[in-house]
Amino acid sequence: MKSKKDIWSISSSQAEIVAAGANTKGKPFKEVDRYKGKPKKGYYYHWHPYKRTSKAHSFYGGPVK
């Protein structure tokens, strides 16, 4: 992630650890793209490093159904 490349993990906790390591100045945060307040089908839940630096995603699991 430090080289601005997305990654994928099996679990949320693993993805969070990777996002936390990409920027150690603060806590990462979890997100999923939404449409009308609901998670978009086919999109993946993911973590972002603190303040979205680096600009990459730490995806995990399968797509929203």
Confidence of residue 2 (pLDDT cuts 50, 70, 90): confident
- Flag whether 65 is in a domain: no
- Flag whether 25 is in a domain: yes
Domain that holds residue 25: 7-60
- Flag whether 2 is in a domain: no
Residue-wise pLDDT tens digits, 12-60? 999 999 999 999 999 999 999 999 999 999 999 999 999 999 899 999 9
- Flag whether 30 is in a domain: yes
Percent of the chain's residues with pLDDT above 70: 100
Is 60 exposed, middle or buried (CB count within 10 Å of its CB: 0-12, 13-18, 19+)?
Answer: buried
- Flag whether 52 is in a domain: yes
Q: What is the pTM of this model?
A: 0.89
Number of domains in the chain: 1
